[in-house]
A and B are shown apart, each in its own frame.
Chain A
């Protein structure tokens, strides 16, 4: 049963991450996703200090705000300070992450959060942290509900804003022409990314969220040219990653989140080599074949 809860949480988290990651990858904002995942740390610490409970609604909101604030800061230094984007991202997130780690050490006695958890989460403890009703009824692990709710939010967001997100991602000029605010959707998307990062934080850790945000969408990107298929393939990849990641971790007796990112990387490597259209090996075979038929026809 424990394995089931862990894998279920992993699936929920990786699907939410993957769906949003598709937009990040296509908008060339993968590293902004990375920055947000680091920068929400102080938000999480503050929320923990204020409420004292993990998984609280306050925590999601607080970190969501910090995430959007991070994107704003990156833009601000870039636009107003003439700082190049890569440096702007690098400076902003390392600063906020350092702040988060310092806060953790400062309030070590008051909050239940350690540095390892920040890095690779504690998905193995998901089944222990149960949601128990006042009547004493056990409802199952709390993390499952949290990541489930976030997945519902993410899917609703994508369904409602599908047209707007698509337009602002592929053709921002056209989007502006038909009256869609690119800035609004940009910040809404960033808000959604922050929310997902925070919700996934406890299970996979602040940094490995990035693997789930980027690797499955990048893999799907190599496998299809249809955006809807890309979302679908990402979802499937997320599920495969969670299941096989869990068993790899059990086999090696190591971190589940680490194993999940290893699998995600492996899947990408496979697609990179063997994708029917884009794989470098398939491409070179195709070339050889074509050269063969060409020389035969002469």
Chain B
């Protein structure tokens, strides 16, 4: 608790730098990441992240010190070359994009490692700390770094703000953007540049290996909560900021803990929670919803079937056994049993020592399902000229989703018909 207060009072300038730095890096990367995510280029971000390593080493070999501006420039150069190389290989040979990405990523990274180990063996004194680029070391951020990264973040935000409409357009529908005369290639170039900038600023804190997570994971998590791009960007930035602060805090209370991997861990947990539990789009909710619809369809099919049996016997309220029902339509026994008991609880059916029969409400509902089914069959034959023996399957699906409004319009359009295409009577409720 004491640690917590001490940390969040930000009295220590070191804590201020680290926290502010992590938040800036994570949230600006998350914002650019949203567009990369929407363009389905998540792994390209990974490739850029790995490919900046040789550039960093090259800048160091030339300057012989860790001048942040030069390192960023070097990183920018090779990051950019890697993207161009991926595009070029994909366009000019039969190599597919995923192979090109993996190839460029690993080869550039390998060259970077070779240069890094060469530098380490060369005995240049200033090289210590260069390997922070591999896993990142947010805890060693200093004021000078912060100025560079702050500037880059502001540039990123400004460009995204000014070109919001254009970037949105090329992320969702590049072909359309081209057809209405937007300079798509130029805009893609700008987005590429933004990606490289975000990566280059982020690696100092996160390291090249996990940088892709900071770009894409917040966007993937945010996508599960909203359909609006603006909301998604704000959410992603918040997720990024939260993980940045938490990561900085964890490495503050446990100095042996690496900040970068912890930031990634936090953002991944946020993402996993979103994947599973987000309302509407979460996996759990989708399963529940799917289950609910399956149950509804089973229930409606049972009621419809009971009505059909009743129609044949001319006795709607006769008690039936499970066997009677299964003879008419091959339900799974367990599915049928649970459906029947749900219908009993809802008051549509009554059960008397193993026999099931309609209540008044049950009959009305079963009747409506049969009516919808037959109305739709008639509609298909009358208006779409489909042969009567081909319409059953389609009606079987659509009867569950026809709303009362649609029902009314069907009735009006078909002028309250008496018979369906199979000469069965259409049951009206009066």
Identify the A interface with B (CB < 8 A).
Answer: 25, 28-31, 33-34, 38, 77, 80-84, 86-87, 89-91, 94-95, 97-99, 101-102, 105-106, 108, 115-116, 119-120, 207-208, 210-211, 213-215, 218, 221-222, 248-249, 252-255, 257-262, 264-265, 268, 272, 278, 280
A86 surroundings in chain B (CB, below 8 A): 40-43
* Smallest beta-carbon distance B211→chain A, Å: 9
The reply to whether the CB of B106 lies closer than 8 angstroms to some CB of chain A is yes
* Smallest beta-carbon distance A208→chain B, Å: 6
For B250-268 the 0/1 string (1 means CB < 8 A from A) is 0000001110111011001
Known A98-B261, A105-B258; contact A31-B98, beta-carbon cutoff 8 A: yes
C-alpha spacing A120/B114, complex, angstroms? 9
The reply to whether the CB of B37 lies closer than 8 angstroms to some CB of chain A is yes
Known A105-B258, A262-B114; contact A222-B94, beta-carbon cutoff 8 A: yes
The reply to whether the CB of B134 lies closer than 8 angstroms to some CB of chain A is yes
C-alpha spacing A218/B43, complex, angstroms? 18
* Smallest beta-carbon distance B11→chain A, Å: 27
A253 surroundings in chain B (CB, below 8 A): 117-118, 121
B116 surroundings in chain A (CB, below 8 A): 254-255, 258
Known A77-B275, A84-B40, A102-B262; contact A210-B106, beta-carbon cutoff 8 A: yes
Q: Check A258–B117 contact: CB distance below 8 A.
A: yes
Partner of A258, one of B113, B210, B262: B113
**Segment 330-383 of B: residues with Cβ below 8 Å from A:** none
Q: Check A97–B109 contact: CB distance below 8 A.
A: no
C-alpha spacing A30/B97, complex, angstroms? 9
Q: Check B110–A258 contact: CB distance below 8 A.
A: yes
Q: B19-27, B180-188, B212-220, B318-326: which one contacts chain A?
A: B212-220
Could you tell me the dominant secondary structure of chain B's interface residues?
A: helix
Partner of A116, one of B95, B106, B131, B262: B131
**Which residue, of A95, A218, A221, A268, has the highest number of chain B Cβ atoms within 10 A?**
A95
Known A90-B42, A90-B213; contact A268-B114, beta-carbon cutoff 8 A: no
Q: Check A210–B117 contact: CB distance below 8 A.
A: no
The reply to whether the CB of B101 lies closer than 8 angstroms to some CB of chain A is yes
Q: Check B102–A214 contact: CB distance below 8 A.
A: yes
The reply to whether the CB of B103 lies closer than 8 angstroms to some CB of chain A is yes
Q: Check B106–A261 contact: CB distance below 8 A.
A: yes
The reply to whether the CB of B423 lies closer than 8 angstroms to some CB of chain A is no
Q: Check B112–A98 contact: CB distance below 8 A.
A: no
A/B pair count, beta carbons within 8 Å: 209
Known A101-B258, A115-B134; contact A258-B114, beta-carbon cutoff 8 A: yes
Q: Check B209–A207 contact: CB distance below 8 A.
A: yes
Known A80-B283, A98-B265; contact A257-B102, beta-carbon cutoff 8 A: no
Query: Which 6 pairs, one residue from A and one from B, show the smallest C-beta to C-beta distance?
Result: A261-B110, A265-B107, A258-B114, A94-B213, A258-B113, A211-B106
The reply to whether the CB of B105 lies closer than 8 angstroms to some CB of chain A is yes
* Smallest beta-carbon distance A187→chain B, Å: 19
C-alpha spacing A33/B103, complex, angstroms? 11
Partner of A261, one of B92, B111, B121: B111
Q: Check B42–A105 contact: CB distance below 8 A.
A: no
Q: Check A265–B46 contact: CB distance below 8 A.
A: no
C-alpha spacing A268/B108, complex, angstroms? 13
C-alpha spacing A255/B298, complex, angstroms? 64
Nearest to A94 among chain B residues (CB) is: B213
Known A80-B283, A207-B106, A258-B114; contact A94-B99, beta-carbon cutoff 8 A: no
B219 surroundings in chain A (CB, below 8 A): 87
A261 surroundings in chain B (CB, below 8 A): 106-107, 109-111, 113-114
B261 surroundings in chain A (CB, below 8 A): 97-99, 101-102, 105
B102 surroundings in chain A (CB, below 8 A): 30-31, 33-34, 210, 213-214
* Smallest beta-carbon distance A104→chain B, Å: 9
C-alpha spacing A98/B261, complex, angstroms? 5
C-alpha spacing A241/B167, complex, angstroms? 42
B258 surroundings in chain A (CB, below 8 A): 101-102, 105, 115
The reply to whether the CB of B271 lies closer than 8 angstroms to some CB of chain A is yes
Q: Check B98–A30 contact: CB distance below 8 A.
A: yes
C-alpha spacing A28/B217, complex, angstroms? 23
Q: Check B118–A254 contact: CB distance below 8 A.
A: yes
C-alpha spacing A280/B85, complex, angstroms? 14
The reply to whether the CB of B45 lies closer than 8 angstroms to some CB of chain A is yes
The reply to whether the CB of B66 lies closer than 8 angstroms to some CB of chain A is no
**Which residue, of B101, B223, B261, has the highest number of chain A Cβ atoms within 10 A?**
B261
A83 surroundings in chain B (CB, below 8 A): 220, 223, 275
Q: Check A280–B101 contact: CB distance below 8 A.
A: no
Nearest to A38 among chain B residues (CB) is: B209
The reply to whether the CB of B115 lies closer than 8 angstroms to some CB of chain A is yes
The reply to whether the CB of B395 lies closer than 8 angstroms to some CB of chain A is no
Q: Check B110–A257 contact: CB distance below 8 A.
A: yes
Partner of A255, one of B101, B106, B117, B264: B117
The reply to whether the CB of B281 lies closer than 8 angstroms to some CB of chain A is yes
* Smallest beta-carbon distance B102→chain A, Å: 4
C-alpha spacing A221/B95, complex, angstroms? 8
User: Can you show 20 pairs from A to B with CB atoms below 8 A apart?
Assistant: A25-B96, A28-B96, A34-B46, A81-B283, A83-B223, A87-B42, A90-B43, A90-B45, A90-B217, A97-B210, A98-B261, A101-B258, A102-B257, A119-B113, A208-B106, A214-B102, A222-B93, A253-B117, A258-B117, A278-B94
Q: Check A252–B114 contact: CB distance below 8 A.
A: yes
Partner of A29, one of B98, B107, B212: B98
B118 surroundings in chain A (CB, below 8 A): 252-254
Q: Check B101–A30 contact: CB distance below 8 A.
A: yes
The reply to whether the CB of B400 lies closer than 8 angstroms to some CB of chain A is no
Q: Check A25–B42 contact: CB distance below 8 A.
A: no
